[in-house]
Structure 1
Amino acid sequence: MPLDDVRTHVDRALRGMAATLRDLGDDLANVRPDLPGANSPYAIVTHCLGVMEFWGGQVLADRVVERDREAEFVATGAVAPLLERMEQQRARFERDLAGFDGAAPPRGPIPDRDQADMPEFTATQGGVLLHVLEELVQHRGQLDVTADLVRPRT
């Protein structure tokens, strides 16, 4: 798996998320659709940044990462600072990929729960990177559907 191909798809997902957030603006980005357990667009993107930080930073790069996963799903705020955090997280993710070896085991610790639930994603650095890509792509789709649900109907 060429690393540049994965970077291309990560960037594509992030650009799409950023465009959706800009289109929604501060108010709509923080609206939760009227569905059980639904997340706001802002929370979805915040969760994606948490995924990149945890799996890229802790698991691939062996950095200590303090993550409050539950807080990601209730996060609110203005779009502009979130877009800035997206850019910062993408740059940090790039640094986390330094020394990447797709066939090697992950360098950092993986919680037991994740190892048990996702052995196909946790055995190699390549599997971990594909998990990050999977999360970004699926949540980009979720973000687009959510945006459609929170936009006013005309």
Structure 2
Amino acid sequence: MQKNLLLPSILFLTSMAFAQGKFPKHQISINGFRNPSIGLEYQQNHLSVHGGYYVTNFTSGVTTEFLKTGVTYWFLPVGHNEIPSSFYAGASYLRGLTRDYNDKDAFAVETGFRWYVWKGLNLRLGVIALTAQGEDLKINPTPSISYSFQF
């Protein structure tokens, strides 16, 4: 049984080591729209932390606002650009600023794909699941445009 797991384990660890080398060692992103928030994000290799202002429409034409901070894990890099496009998954804490969420704590998980269009310019398309006490689970798309700087 252990022999059957040895080769897949070696392949998995090798691919993880190779993928980690592709991600930027240090990167700051200025996020201009919803994903992860309108704010800043710092990425080191596979992980990033973010903070900013998050707006969403749970109902058409009705904007709900939050402060948002969280972490993101980047994986499965693709392409041969200096900064690879990749998939991501993250978790965040939100503090409601308006509507039914005013002064409420909320938590969210999200996943999606970040595509580097040109140099540091990137687009994200994802989906978020957001929950808060006394509120129904909300699932929304999370598009974004950002610019990233490596250092």
Q: TM-score, normalised by structure 1?
A: 0.28
* Structure with the higher fraction of residues in strand conformation: 2
Point out the structure with max Rg over C-alpha.
2
* Structure with the higher fraction of residues in helix conformation: 1
